Structure 1
């Protein structure tokens, strides 16, 4: 394992944050981003969630890092690679075309692999047990504790996120918009690619012990962050999307938690 391929990890202390969107703001979201008030109902009610301490990767998993997994395990590579290695120009872009099960398998493989080496993970102390973040951990990392709309504040700024407004039309190098970091210092939490979380699609209020974090249960899994083809409304910290865990597409990747 090349340690240079591993992301830096950011420590998030135990505490309480405001998750979701308040009922009184649903109509305003509809006026601003389209749809109806009910289009945003899944984000309500806004509620306080207490989380234990955790760490989150500062950037999504890159193609270069995911390639070490593909080569070691024989896992099916993303279709656009056209082989076991990603295109040279995409080495530092977030990996996409990975389904939820493959993302979980990557976490398990990386955990086992590092137990057999002396590699030091930036920002962490061993033992390493990697996993996907819950959607609550993801949102806490994206918006901090003040309920902001975007990682940098309440007003959208096109230059800080790779969304439709950037007119790029493709993914971008991870961490390439450093002024758009979240309160904990995480990059690419608005736009670039959607990110799988560990959580099942379930109604709010979020309760981490109600079965939604059970990796063996069937059902759609929550994705967060929006991507390069979505307009700004999907890049809000509270926006929720979901897909069946078997779906692979060119817009969805993941990042690590521990």
Structure 2
């Protein structure tokens, strides 16, 4: 009978996964059909009635603790305590706020993450906005999802047990405890720290700005795209807000927005600046991330994608320097231009928003004709590289790995959930587990895998030396064959997935898909595993930086902010600020 039941389950799972595969394609998601074989990784574990590990005292997560989460993201723990909020702007007086501890996503929600929610039938598709990344194009899988309303963002966060962060939660995660003006500290913004001022000219991979991370380790708390937060916007709210766990006004017309975007100027980058928008609006430069205040342990997924550990990746680089020389500067119809001569075969890109170059070949020379900003003299940069150089990840010869509790199907690059007996064998506990003693008996308890991370939904507790769920239930049977305790412990499956009692894991319903690669990774068909995404960023060995000066050719006047006579309309425009003494709307960045 066991074989018959197993065959029925395997046949049903096969049909479900085939139906899932017939839906529109998911960026870099590997769908695996589990069939009845003699392999241990696909057999229903035999139920055990063995002694149960007693709860182990835990120390709790520390500041900046990282935990893989159910949507393929990583959560970071922000500890309870005080921090300095505000910068004495017209709507942001400096004050001290006390928050309870909470978890928040390390990155903005990506297109790949959001697509999983859409396919689960919980989220609605984002609006494709003019100039925004194409949501279902795999090339943009690790870019932030945009074109979503406040309600769409909040729905997604609810799907993963969370909510949009409050303004206070967002600002603490961005600035740290001491009121830094920027996530990275006090240094002025630059293209190496933040995607702003058209350094890239569009959205970018959410993990590409490593050096611009916040004190707690969050990416993109400035630049790339703005972020919806939970609060209704109130201009005077900081004056009357509670000092502990403020959540914003009870109602309002606008929802708050924090952060900045790939088009924001340097003056718009400080983390304390508050913005707002109609909650029904969606824009090509606005996304979100989620906070999870009280995460509960979901049951593990039945399959996950394998990955090449970050610490085992190598890069390849060798080349010679190209030519890049400024040969001319001139004015034409009020605009300032510069000409740069570059080598044939070289690649190039502008750095910053204040220059736009076009390539020409004249008189046997290859040149760039670069247009500077109208009405001002500026010095900009053009990076020129030898294309034989590369900083691409080399994964040849490297082995893909799985989280503890999973076994690798090397053919498909899939990790299959394979719980083991709680009692150690003669050779001890397998790799990814540690031995703990309870009531005079030894038990295997899940620990970190070869990538240094705990499995999804668990963090590494330094005090106990094990991977544990953040709700403190240290005897949760993750990776352990105990179907009864699993049903009593796990908070079911995320919506769109169903719990299989035999396999003790979550499998996708019809139409849903298994999680793909983590943010910043893509599935490599050769390696049969998730590997890091390397943006087409020109830098490093084999590249030169050419400083290009363009001259001021005309005097400009403000036709954007000056005509606005209402303070509310003025501050709603991110390019403007209200001058209270003058009772006038002005540009945040004065004209030269």
Q: Give unpaired runs (5+ residues) of structure 1.
A: 23-39, 111-128
Equivalence for 2:154: 104
Partner of 2:267: 233
**Contact 2:122-2:156 at 8 Å conserved across structures:** no
Distance change in 2, residues 1:226/1:81 (3 Å): closer
What corresponds to 1:15 in structure 2? 81
* 1:120-131 matches, cutoff 5 A: 129-131=161-163
1:1-258 maps to which residues of 2 (within 5 A)?
5-22=71-88, 40-43=89-92, 45-73=93-121, 75-80=123-128, 86-110=136-160, 129-158=161-190, 159-164=192-197, 166=199, 168-202=200-234, 203=236, 204-205=238-239, 206-207=241-242, 212=248, 214=250, 217-258=251-292
**CA distance 1:211–1:148, change in 2 (3 Å):** closer
Quote how far apart the aligned CAs of 1:165 are.
Answer: 5.3
State the Cα RMSD in Å: 2.4
| Distance (whole Å) between structure 1 residues aligned to residue 216 and residue 246 of structure 2 | 27
Describe the shift of the 1:4–1:87 C-alpha distance in structure 2 as closer, same or farther (beyond 3 A).
farther
SS at match of 1:140: helix
After superposition, the C-alpha distances for 1:168-195 in whole angstroms (9 at most, x for unaligned) are: 1100000101111000000000100100
Structure 1 residues 209 and 183: alpha-carbon distance in aligned structure 2, compared to 1, 3 A threshold: closer
Structure with more of its chain in helix, by fraction: 1
Q: 8 Å contact 2:232–2:248 — kept in the other structure? A: yes
Task: Provide TM-score, normalisation by structure 1.
Answer: 0.78
Q: Deviations over 1:26-62 (max 9, x none)?
A: xxxxxxxxxxxxxx4112x100001111111100100
Alpha-carbon shift at residue 223 of structure 1 (Å): 0.8
Q: CA deviation at 1:66?
A: 0.4
Specify the structure having the higher radius of gyration (Cα).
Answer: 2
Paired with 1:194 and 1:210, the residues of 2 have a C-alpha distance of 21
**C-alpha contact (below 8 Å) 1:98/1:252 kept by paired residues:** yes
Quick check: which one's strand share is greater?
2
Closer, same or farther: CA 182–74 of 1 in aligned 2, 3 Å:
closer
Equivalent pair of 1:107/1:256 in contact (CA under 8 Å): yes
Equivalents in 2 of 1:6, 1:235: separation in Å?
Answer: 28
Q: Partners in 1 of 2:188 and 2:142 — Cα distance? A: 25
Q: CA deviation at 1:146?
A: 1.0
Q: CA, structure 1 residues 249+48, in 2 after alignment: closer, same or farther (shift >3 Å)?
A: same
**What is the aligned length?**
218
Give CA deviations for 1:128-158 in whole Å, capped at 9, x if unaligned: x211100100000000011111011122231
Query: In structure 2, do the counterparts of structure 1 residues 249 and 85 end up closer, same or farther at CA, with 3 Å as the change threshold?
Result: closer
- Per the TM alignment, residue 86 of structure 1 is displaced from its structure 2 partner at its CA by 1.3
Within 1, Cα distance between the matches of 2:135 and 2:270?
33
Post-superposition Cα deviations, 1:52-102, rounded to whole Å, max 9, x if no partner, equal 1111110010000101122222744223399x9611111000000001001
How far does residue 5 in structure 1 lie from its aligned partner after superposition? Answer: 5.0
Could you say if the C-alpha distance between residues 134 and 162 of structure 1 is closer, same or farther in structure 2, counting changes exceeding 3 Å? same
Per-residue Cα deviation, 1:98-117 (whole angstroms, up to 9, x for no partner)? 0100111112223xxxxxxx
SS at match of 2:120: helix
Which residue pairs with 2:555 in the alignment? none
Answer yes or no: is the 8 Å Cα contact 2:84–2:177 preserved in 1: yes
Q: Mean alpha-carbon deviation: is it higher for 220-229 or for 232-241? A: 232-241
User: 2:70 & 2:80 partners in 1: Cα distance?
Assistant: 29
- Cα displacement (A) at 1:232: 2.0
Given that 2:166 and 2:246 are in contact with CA atoms closer than 8 Å, whether structure 1 keeps it comes out as: no
